[in-house]
Structure 1
Amino acid sequence: MDAAVNHATKSTGDADSWHLALAAAGTRMDIGPVPEHLLSGSCETAGLIRRSALSWLNGRLDVALRVAAEAMDVECDKGHEFCGLAGYWCVALLTKAREFDAGWRTLHSLRAGPADSPRVGATSQVIGGELLFAMGRVEDGLAEVRAGLELAERYGVRSLLPTGYVVMALSALRRADMRTCLQFLDKLTGEALLGYFGQAAGAWVSALAAEARGGVASAAGLVAGIITNPLVLRQLLVSEPAAVSWLVRVCGKLGAVDLAEEAVRAAAITAADHPRIGVIRASASHAAGLLAGDLDMVGVAANLYPDQWCVASAQEDLADMLAKRHGERENAIRLFDSALASYTAVGATRDVSRVVNKLRDFGVRRGAIRAVERDGLLPFGLTNTEFAVAELVSQGHTNNEVGRQLFISRHTVAFHLKKVYQKMSVTSRVELAASWKTLAPQPSDFPERDPQDA
């Protein structure tokens, strides 16, 4: 750990206590009592931020929140710029706890003061955007994260980048915009190789993308790696409430009952450690209910979740369970409709498409759902669905793979692909791919960093 601390100090400067704590903690699989020399720091505020970050990394969000609040109340006597960011670290933790009202109040009070530097401005926008995204104010959140990342990349504030990249990748995946999702996953990989990475959230989003692109078998290695790595799993359980139910769902499809049981067991322990944080109890109940086939436990989760996307996920799982029971057709449809409304409200068009197809299996049609949203006019007069099909086919995906990602049949993919060929005046996948590289709109990127800022 000392080697990691020394390296982080050289890389970021002693004032960047938040990143220093993350780098040090990331070198150990099991964080025991934190060495005092890591906590003392160069001032009391820095020591408290380190203690808070290390507690979060070890799966104790409650302790991390308490210590972060203490850090906000202690005035730094060394004039460190980073210590002035303690409040934003507290907002980040409140977002993980889905304590939206407290997070918003804290953010509002912090923004009442001046943004004295690019670091402060970037932090305010990335952390504030992450909060808005979790609250369901998706477009506002993405706009803030995008602006914050632009500042962070321009001025080399690298400890912020993974947080922003995870939000951007996850939002793109939920919109079935795989090109943008993979763009940000590539950026995350680069940060991981350089050591600027908290591991868990990025690993989970990477697994989500792998499953979306190639099915559950493609995500099997990452899923096993997440569940069997105690540090990563503990981080994930106190950071991403949607993660553990997804892990259990995928393990069920893979027939990996032992891994599902381990994930549920870890979630139960985490929930017992956090009796006052409802979202952690909800995610544990959700996962346990899926594994046991217990409607009541999944129902408890749906009622406890403060996160609208998570509510929709639990409602969809409840509907899936009811759909297998005799005489529950109307209740299943009602829950699918509720999930559909919530997914639509947060712009999760990929999830919307999946639920629409499930309703169609019941003979219920809810109208055409656009699989991917794009601003402005699409090329060649393509519809949103045609655009999504063309983009995936141009990347080399088969009709079956495209259908799996967009939750439509391969026959429907073939129908849309024929329309694409007609509108673009091409006759083959090879011609489509060649045309797409030069003519399709590219996802917005951020300015390149000056190498001296890296």
Structure 2
Amino acid sequence: MAREIAAALPGWTTVRVRALPWESGDEGRLLDCVRDHLGHGADLGRRIDTKDGSTLLIFDDAHWADAASLRDLTSLVLRMRRGRCALVLTCAAEVMPDLSAVLAEIRAVADLTVTVPPLSTDDIRAVLQNEVGVQLGATTLRRVADCTDGRPGRLRELVSAVPADHWSAVDPVVPVPELWRARTLQKLRDLDDHARTAVTVTAVLGREVPFAVVRQVCGGYTGPGHALAAVSAAVTAGVLRVVGSGSREYVDLVDGADRHVVAGQVSPEVGADIHRRAAQVFEERGDGEEALLHLTLARSATGEVDTREVATYAEDLGYQGLWRASSRMFRLAATVEPDQGTAARLQLAAVEALLAAADIPEAVAQAGSLDRGRRSPQQDSMLGYLAIHEGRRSEAVGLLSRASDALMSGGRAVADGDIARLAARQILLCLVEWNIPSLVRWAELSERRSPYTSGDRIESAAIAMVGRSALSGRPRLDVAAAGEDLAQTESRDVAVGWVSLIFDDPLTAYQRLSARSHLDVTERTILWKDAWLARTTLVLGKVEEARRAAELGLERAHRLGIAFLEPLLLWTAAEAADLQGRPELCRHYLSQLGVGSDAFMIQRIPAEMARLVIAHGNGDLAGAERAGQALCTLREETNISQPGFWLWEDVYSQVLVRLGRVAEADGFLAEAEERAAESGIDSVRARLLLPRGNILIQQGRTDEGLDALAEASDTVARLGMPFYEGRIDLEYGQLLRRLGRRRDADILFGKAQSIFSAMGATRMVDLTVRERRAGGVGARQGSAGELSPQEQQIAKLVAAGATNREVSAELFVSPKTVEYHLTRIFRKLSIARRSELADVLGGE
């Protein structure tokens, strides 16, 4: 990064100096180095602060710099008057206590602070493969990541400490570079015996051990009265650190390399004794899981461990729904298991437990540690499932196909549990690829091979409800499965809510999708709820609530690391922002919809539907045509035309008519009408009648066209779907106005204006007002005399600049009441926004 900054500043004089740990106590040393580089005397300011002078100062490893130099150079840079000087410091996240205050002061005045994240396990694997030509196994990779803290410099030091062929062993020992040993021993020499004991205990016990436990274990060696002082002394020296607070206060080594050095010097007998003491402390605290963990580590140190006991305990935790704890115990069993094949299976079980906990980011991190050289159908199945969540279509399809070929070939005995899990994942893949026939076939396999009350079977049945409804054109029955738990009820709620929305029952959809259990294990399912709740809320005409629901879902998707559902949420968010007349926000949402050709159908379909609707609504026929053509291409790849699920043909037909391609629109729409004829979904029929009426009018069959439009308006009015009703009435009115039937058009415009006003769809209200004025019939603004006394009071206060909350306080009514009356006021006065109230009232 520092090199890139220097390259971006051509013509600048660059001075780059590295601070050295053994010079950190030499006050002014760094300043002297700069003077030496510039070849000048003591007055550094005169040398740098010259007219048209440009100097770049780069200090590497500033965590070893002396405080005086850092302060003086920062002051020099901040007080430049004639020339230009940029100061770049690179330093570790953890610094010596006496320097941390200085660096904090510099950060406070810095123009920019960049935190470089540590290398991930995938990054470390790639670096080592490039450096030594070997792909490390999962266990070794975890050890390397742990002792280097993901720092590139530490990784280079580790790799260069041994010959390249050292890493080719089956389970290579992670070496202790002499440079690390020297650094650590220097730190320990400055500590007394008790503090060194505290460091040893902490290094052996590992990360995130509670402060109270470390203190008690230390007390067994130093005496209880010295334990706190021992830990405090090591913290003061910058060797240990305390993070968190209260019951979540932990002790850890600042530098992972120190942990590696210290733990490596401890004999197996001492290490076992420390773990046994820790197990006893945890047992006394009532933490059986941690007690078993340390007892297992104690036994492994002396070769007495039984990994089957630990794995059995991990399975029991999973049966109780404690999936994160289950994952941790599986990882422990994998760590101490001597057989590499068994260890790989245990590590895979640990990742599967994280998937069950819906902890996708941690599952991805742990999956990065799997030994890719030990492929198995089970591992391919799991990695394919992860690829779905991260939106990597080709990888998901390839991995799950390979797992299916291996497990379904019939060449070996396969456990029903593996088949059921594979079927559940294939069902999800078919859903996001919108391959409905295959989805139903995999659901039938799940029903045959899964235990009746298994979680995989119950969740698969919920998704199959959507698939079978799409395939049959009829909603499937909602039946709770035997043994269904709260998480599985959430899955069924998603399916019922989605299907209810499609089949014109948005109130049931809203009820089912609004119900939340707030359990960690259901967050992945709740994300689906967020997506369809946002859409349902929009259809019900609650525009801002819909946008906020979509935003909540987007935040959840980012936090969970689930990329493939983001377009579903952005589809609704973009349309809501467009309805509200917020073009910049709408463009922001649309800009995030840039899915590629390798995305899943459930990503590509809503992305193009959003572009189609918004471009058409804003008169961008070229953009709308492109989106419509993209949807036509998707339809050729797979059948996305099940009535009601992804209805876009109505809008694209209107686009074709407006482009003058009436015959093409006629044929295109006829296909959609034929598919929808048997579905009995009134909202689909009403929406398709709108372009049909337009086409008939363009063909000279005006009376038939008007009949179709009237039927569309009457049908949608009975459904309680303002989102569709307002649009149909507006476009119906536009066609009537063009036919010269201005009074009839104005009635429809007035109705649409009322609907859009209640929805909070400001852009659509403005559009209907313009249409009424263009028609000349409904252009007259209403009079304040038409308002009730309370409405007149509210109108006067709002016209004077009062907010809804201020009006509610003045008149002793709720803000909701004020909002309700404002909607009626706007409708009566034929205005769209608060700012117009002053003009109407002032003109009377």
Would the TM-score normalized by the shorter structure come out above 0.5? Answer: yes
Q: 1:291 matched to which residue of 2?
A: 695
Question: TM-score scaled to structure 1, two decimals?
Answer: 0.66
Q: 1:352 matched to which residue of 2?
A: 765
3-state SS, counterpart of residue 588 of structure 2: helix
| One-letter amino acid of the structure 2 residue matched with residue 284 of structure 1 | L
1:368-447 correspondence runs (5 A): none
Distance 1:157 1:82, change over 3 A: farther
3-state SS, counterpart of residue 602 of structure 2: coil
Q: How much has 1:235 moved relative to structure 2?
A: 4.3
Q: How much has 1:301 moved relative to structure 2?
A: 1.4
Contact 2:385 / 2:425 at 8 angstroms: preserved in 1? no
Q: 1:188 matched to which residue of 2?
A: 593
The structure whose Rg is larger is 2
Contact 1:286 / 1:301 at 8 angstroms: preserved in 2? yes
> What is the rounded CA distance, in whole Å, between the counterparts of 1:103 and 1:35 in structure 2?
23
Is 1:158 matched up with 2:599? no
Give the % identical residues. Answer: 17
Is 1:335 matched up with 2:748? yes
Residue number among 279, 293, 296 corresponding to 2:683 in the alignment: 279
Q: How much has 1:12 moved relative to structure 2?
A: 4.4
Contact 2:608 / 2:631 at 8 angstroms: preserved in 1? yes
> What is the rounded CA distance, in whole Å, between the counterparts of 2:642 and 2:781 in structure 1?
36
* CA deviation profile, 1:325-382 (whole Å, cap 9, x unmatched): 45x32111111111121122222222222222222222343669xxxxxxxxxxxxxx
Residue number among 611, 616, 629 corresponding to 1:224 in the alignment: 629
In proportion to residue count, which structure has more helix? Answer: 1
Contact 1:76 / 1:83 at 8 angstroms: preserved in 2? no
Residue number among 133, 139, 157 corresponding to 2:538 in the alignment: 133
Q: 1:308 matched to which residue of 2?
A: 722
3-state SS, counterpart of residue 626 of structure 2: helix
> What is the rounded CA distance, in whole Å, between the counterparts of 2:511 and 2:542 in structure 1?
16
> What is the rounded CA distance, in whole Å, between the counterparts of 2:736 and 2:661 in structure 1?
23
Q: How much has 1:185 moved relative to structure 2?
A: 2.2
Q: 2:118 matched to which residue of 1?
A: none
3-state SS, counterpart of residue 224 of structure 1: helix
Q: 1:66 matched to which residue of 2?
A: 476
Is 1:322 matched up with 2:698? no
Q: 2:117 matched to which residue of 1?
A: none
Structure 1: where are the runs of 5+ without partners?
369-454
* CA deviation profile, 1:235-294 (whole Å, cap 9, x unmatched): 4851355x333222211111223441243223312322212x221222232232222131
| One-letter amino acid of the structure 1 residue matched with residue 543 of structure 2 | V
Q: How much has 1:128 moved relative to structure 2?
A: 2.7
* CA deviation profile, 1:376-423 (whole Å, cap 9, x unmatched): xxxxxxxxxxxxxxxxxxxxxxxxxxxxxxxxxxxxxxxxxxxxxxxx
> What is the rounded CA distance, in whole Å, between the counterparts of 2:482 and 2:668 in structure 1?
40
Residue number among 464, 467, 479 corresponding to 1:51 in the alignment: 464
Is 1:91 matched up with 2:497? yes
Distance 1:313 1:232, change over 3 A: farther
> What is the rounded CA distance, in whole Å, between the counterparts of 1:284 and 1:141 in structure 2?
24
User: Which range moves more in the overlay, 337-346 or 143-152?
Assistant: 143-152
> What is the rounded CA distance, in whole Å, between the counterparts of 2:511 and 2:486 in structure 1?
24
Q: How much has 1:33 moved relative to structure 2?
A: 6.5
Distance 1:244 1:27, change over 3 A: closer
3-state SS, counterpart of residue 188 of structure 1: coil
Contact 2:749 / 2:768 at 8 angstroms: preserved in 1? yes
| One-letter amino acid of the structure 2 residue matched with residue 74 of structure 1 | A
Residue number among 496, 513, 524 corresponding to 1:119 in the alignment: 524
Residue number among 755, 774, 777 corresponding to 1:361 in the alignment: 774
Residue number among 545, 551, 565 corresponding to 1:146 in the alignment: 551
3-state SS, counterpart of residue 592 of structure 2: helix
Q: How much has 1:120 moved relative to structure 2?
A: 4.6
Contact 1:152 / 1:161 at 8 angstroms: preserved in 2? yes
Contact 1:201 / 1:239 at 8 angstroms: preserved in 2? no
Structure 2: where are the runs of 5+ without partners?
1-376, 390-419, 451-455, 698-704, 783-844
> What is the rounded CA distance, in whole Å, between the counterparts of 2:487 and 2:597 in structure 1?
25
3-state SS, counterpart of residue 199 of structure 1: helix
3-state SS, counterpart of residue 66 of structure 1: coil
> What is the rounded CA distance, in whole Å, between the counterparts of 1:143 and 1:193 in structure 2?
29
> What is the rounded CA distance, in whole Å, between the counterparts of 1:249 and 1:198 in structure 2?
24
Residue number among 612, 625, 628 corresponding to 1:207 in the alignment: 612
Distance 1:343 1:89, change over 3 A: same
> What is the rounded CA distance, in whole Å, between the counterparts of 1:232 and 1:366 in structure 2?
51
Q: 1:439 matched to which residue of 2?
A: none
| One-letter amino acid of the structure 1 residue matched with residue 430 of structure 2 | A
> What is the rounded CA distance, in whole Å, between the counterparts of 1:39 and 1:269 in structure 2?
29
Contact 2:722 / 2:755 at 8 angstroms: preserved in 1? yes
> What is the rounded CA distance, in whole Å, between the counterparts of 2:387 and 2:742 in structure 1?
59
> What is the rounded CA distance, in whole Å, between the counterparts of 2:584 and 2:598 in structure 1?
21
Contact 1:264 / 1:288 at 8 angstroms: preserved in 2? yes
Contact 2:543 / 2:759 at 8 angstroms: preserved in 1? yes
Q: How much has 1:16 moved relative to structure 2?
A: 10
* CA deviation profile, 1:118-171 (whole Å, cap 9, x unmatched): 335544444333322221122223222222321221112334322211110111
C-alpha RMSD of matched pairs (Å) = 3.7
> What is the rounded CA distance, in whole Å, between the counterparts of 1:139 and 1:349 in structure 2?
11
Contact 1:174 / 1:349 at 8 angstroms: preserved in 2? yes
3-state SS, counterpart of residue 189 of structure 1: coil
Q: How much has 1:192 moved relative to structure 2?
A: 6.8
* CA deviation profile, 1:192-222 (whole Å, cap 9, x unmatched): 7543734333211112344466721232232
| One-letter amino acid of the structure 2 residue matched with residue 180 of structure 1 | L
1:162-181 correspondence runs (5 A): 162-181=567-586
| One-letter amino acid of the structure 1 residue matched with residue 734 of structure 2 | D
Q: How much has 1:34 moved relative to structure 2?
A: 5.5
Spell out structure 1 runs of 4+ moving beyond 6 A: 4-7, 13-19
Q: How much has 1:18 moved relative to structure 2?
A: 8.3
Matched residue count: 353
Contact 2:612 / 2:651 at 8 angstroms: preserved in 1? no
| One-letter amino acid of the structure 1 residue matched with residue 662 of structure 2 | V
Contact 2:440 / 2:467 at 8 angstroms: preserved in 1? no
Distance 1:34 1:76, change over 3 A: same
Contact 1:97 / 1:280 at 8 angstroms: preserved in 2? no
Distance 1:196 1:11, change over 3 A: farther
Contact 1:136 / 1:308 at 8 angstroms: preserved in 2? yes
